[in-house]
Amino acid sequence: MNSVRKVPDIVIGRLPIYLRALQVMAAEGREVTSSQELGERLGISPAQIRKDLSYFGNFGKQGMGYRIPDLIHRLKQILKVDRTWDMILIGAGNLGHALAQYQGFTPRGFRLVAIFDNDPEKIGRPIGLHTIRDVGEVPNFVREHGIQIAMIAVPASAAQQVADLCVEAGIRAILSYAPIHLKIPPGVLVQYIDPAIHLQQMTYYMNHGT
Amino acid sequence: MNSVRKVPDIVIGRLPIYLRALQVMAAEGREVTSSQELGERLGISPAQIRKDLSYFGNFGKQGMGYRIPDLIHRLKQILKVDRTWDMILIGAGNLGHALAQYQGFTPRGFRLVAIFDNDPEKIGRPIGLHTIRDVGEVPNFVREHGIQIAMIAVPASAAQQVADLCVEAGIRAILSYAPIHLKIPPGVLVQYIDPAIHLQQMTYYMNHGT
């Protein structure tokens, strides 16, 4: 265990991908895997996987591979998803409705607790298991409930303003679906859901066709 | 230029991120940047950026940095988004509607040309600039128009069946929003839009709090 060594961001970026693959294997009823097998599933070299995991201690036994439940447990601890994080969502349009019904958050450590919009036509209406709240209530809600994570699913034109509101309210991590780059002060984390990034990762490997 | 050297997948994965950052800089009216500045914006070391780009030839002049328009042009060529790729979308629910209206595809090299669903209530209805088509028309449409890319925005329970349909029809790249792992034959590319991966990349850096 080596908690003083600074782990590169790029390594941290791969841990959730390892965790997802391991959880898929666990769902398949598997107990043990290897860096070789993980690497084949993920298109990452086994040496890279072993090196990434070595930042956090000694997992597999030489020649024995990794015990899947143990590695899942440890990765959840490292990524701090051995607890559930409450999140808010701002934007109750089509995307907001899709996120309100998304089944993928809970098994991965996240719970959507409130949804906000600025449209008087929408405020007060049901969305999934929630009722759409006025975006003006964000600051109080965030402070009262100690919320640290916000998802932004508003049009590009409103995204910066909403991000500013979140930051002022004390939000510490933003997941944005808006196709613009947000200006966020240091100390606040931001990640983007950007389908074009994924599409471009595939076109590299494709032939120019019709 | 060294077209025989195999470029690691992980390097290819970073090129769209460089391209996006450069396009943001270009939109800000900037002409020149450096691996140092790019690295600071992206949280990637300047040495890594220089090494990644060096797979594709010699870009910046020593001490002069990169000319942004030239690097954008070259990255678009490498990622094959110096053309426009037609895509289809399967799933006309809330997420499908959001994707139908998404403004971020066209500037990045992609065009949504048709949207399909299996719900008789939806088929024939307008969605964005399109009319929802019967999912049964996917094979003919894909063949007739030489479509290579499909986005899947159907419930998890239907995603594998839809993916199989796409693969049989000749689709070569799938972007899936469904929170399940798809079984896809070799030779077909797949990427997942997975908000939990992004959320977990942030919780690592956060304190366990309320």
What's the confidence (pLDDT) of residue A117?
98
Q: What is the pLDDT of residue B142?
A: 98
d(CA B197, CA B195): 5
Q: Which of B12, B191, B200, B210 to mutate: most A Cβ within 10 Å?
A: B200
Domain boundaries along the sequence of chain B: 9-78, 85-196
Query: Stretch B56-83: mean pLDDT, rounded?
Result: 89
Query: pLDDT tens digits, residue range B98-132?
Result: 999 998 899 999 999 999 999 999 999 999 889 99
pLDDT of residue B62: 66
**pLDDT tens column, A162-189:** 999 999 999 999 999 998 889 899 999 9
Confidence class for position B43, pLDDT limits 50, 70, 90: confident
- For A189, name the nearest residue in chain B, comparing CA atoms only: B202
**Residue B180 pLDDT class (50, 70, 90 cuts):** confident
Q: Which residues of chain A have pLDDT under 50?
A: 1-4, 209-210
Query: Between chains, do A204 and B80 touch, taking CB under 8 Å as contact?
Result: yes
Question: Which tokens in the block code for residue A13?
Answer: 């970026």
Asked if the domains A9-78 and A85-196 are classified in one and the same CATH topology, the answer is no
Q: Does residue B81 have a pLDDT over 50?
A: yes
Nearest CB to A43; choose among B9, B24, B94:
B9
Please provide the size of chain A in residues.
210
Tokens of A160: 């910066």
- So what's the pLDDT on residue A42? 83
Q: What top-level class would CATH report for the domain A85-196? A: alpha beta
A132 contacts in chain B (CB < 8 Å): none
CA distance A123 to B194: 28
What does the pLDDT average to over B48-59? 89
Neighbours of B26 (CB within 10 A): 15
- Model confidence pLDDT, tens digit, residues B11-26: 999 999 999 999 989 9
What band does B5 get if pLDDT is binned at 50, 70 and 90? low
Grouping H, G, I as helix, E, B as strand and the rest as coil, residue B23 is helix
Given this model, what pLDDT does residue A210 score?
43
Residues forming a β-bridge with A66: A33
Rounded to 5°, the CA angle B191-B98-B177 comes to 25
Search chain B and give the residue with CA nearest A21.
B181
Query: Least CB-CB distance to A196: which of B104, B146, B179?
Result: B104
Cα angle vertex B155, ends B81, B174, to 5°?
25
Please report the pLDDT score of residue B2 as a whole number. Answer: 43
Quick one: pLDDT at residue B169?
97
Inter-chain touch A104–B193, beta carbons under 8 Å:
no
What pLDDT, on the 0 to 100 scale, is given for residue B40?
A: 87
In angstroms, the separation between the Cα of residue B29 and the nearest Cα of chain A is: 15
Residues of B in contact with A99 (CB under 8 A): 195
Contact status, residue A41 vs residue A28, Cβ threshold 8 Å: no
What's domain A9-78's architecture? Orthogonal Bundle (1.10)
Q: What is the ipTM of this complex?
A: 0.93
Cβ–Cβ of A94/B109 closer than 8 Å? no
Q: Which residues of B touch A8 (CB under 8 A)?
A: 45
The predicted structure's pLDDT at residue A43: 76
Chain B positions touching A49 (Cβ under 8 A) are none
Question: Cα torsion for A161, B37, A5, A34, to the nearest 10°?
Answer: 80
- Helices vs strands, H then E, count in chain B: 8, 10
pLDDT of residue A193: 95
A101-105 long-range CB contacts below 8 Å, 24 or more apart?
A101/A128, A101/B94, A102/B179, A102/B195, A103/B156, A103/B179, A104/B179, A104/B194, A104/B195, A104/B196, A105/B195, A105/B196, A105/B199
pLDDT, position A59: 76
Tell me which of B3 and B204 has the higher pLDDT: B204
The whole-number pLDDT of residue A2 equals: 43
- Kindly report the nearest CA distance between residue B61 and chain A, in angstroms: 25
User: Which 8-state DSSP code applies to residue A61?
Assistant: B
Closest residue to A202, CB basis, from B45, B189, B200: B189
Mean of all residue pLDDT scores within chain B: 92
